[in-house]
Structure 1
Amino acid sequence: MLRYQREDAVRFWNSKKGEELSPGQKVRRIQLFDITHRKKDGSRMTSEAGEIMEKLKDKKAEYEAIASTDSSVNLEDIDNRIITEVLGPERYGQVRFQGSGVNLT
């Protein structure tokens, strides 16, 4: 981890939002999108990001309603399905959410 990345990470974990996430808690993809598309003052970076987040929240509520009545719906996989429906499938040369070991091919 680079020095500036470490400083940003420490600043985030010491912030109010970072304290809401307990250590070891898994950050979901929709939550990651929300965190990474906000300015320091808490507002959305762009109006498009706000519209996308609203669509993501609506779809999540829709899937949770379905999951409450249908036990065959896997709640763990809902975030991936919602991201794909709202943003479209990932394409060659585009990495939407990077992790360790991700390459463009």
Structure 2
Amino acid sequence: MTKTTGTRSFARVRAEEAQKLGHDPTEVEMFYLTHKKKNGSMVDSTSAEIVENIQTIAAQRAEEQPSEPVDENQIFLEVMGKERHGRVRGYGFGPTPSSVSSKLPSQLQMASTIETLRQENKKLKEKLSTVEQTQAETLSLLKSFMQEVRLGRVSNE
């Protein structure tokens, strides 16, 4: 399997992508990044087959369990097979499984976090809407009161 990173190391590609995304890219994202040409096609037939297998299995699991998020990293491990001892795909030289595994959230953890953040966002939007509505009502009352004061209908006492 060839890769598309040229002289850039996987560690450098990972760091650049982490800056763009705001989090470390997953194993699947790293595979796509390092095996996809600029035109969007995969670099070779082996890479294309791996991507096709991942997408097929992900679609099957989504159909079988629609309420559960699909863990693409788990599917990636199934498609790619066992890792060689002491190695971690997509990290370049140096990192070991024990130094990396605790840092990467699983797809399920990420999905759970995203859902929690969406719920919090929805609550905050509702609260903001309520505050804006209250503010508009208060402003309306204040304007009508000021109009009454100008017309002399309200005394200072």
**1:59 equivalenced with 2:60 (yes/no):** no
Which string of whole-angstrom CA distances, capped at 9 and with x for unpartnered residues, describes residues 36-67 of structure 1?
10123332111110111100111111122233
Give the equivalent residue in structure 2 for 1:68.
66
Match of 1:81 among 74, 77, 90: 74
Q: Report the residue type matching 1:59 in the other structure.
A: I
Q: Report the residue type matching 1:27 in the other structure.
A: P
Structure 2 segments unaligned to the other structure (5+ residues)? 1-6, 99-157
- TM-score, structure 2 length as denominator? 0.42
Match of 1:102 among 82, 85, 95: 95
Give the equivalent residue in structure 2 for 1:43.
41
Structure 1 segments unaligned to the other structure (5+ residues)? 14-21
Aligned pair in 2 of structure 1 residues 83, 41: CA closer, same or farther (>3 Å)?
same
Give the whole-Å Cα distance in 1 for the aligned partners of 2:22 and 2:97: 28
When the two chains are superposed, the root-mean-square deviation of aligned CA atoms in Å is 3.5
- TM-score, structure 1 length as denominator? 0.58
Give the whole-Å Cα distance in 1 for the aligned partners of 2:39 and 2:76: 25
Q: Identity percentage over the alignment?
A: 30
More helix by percentage: 2
CA contact (8 A) 2:54 2:79 kept: yes
Q: Report the residue type matching 2:89 in the other structure.
A: R
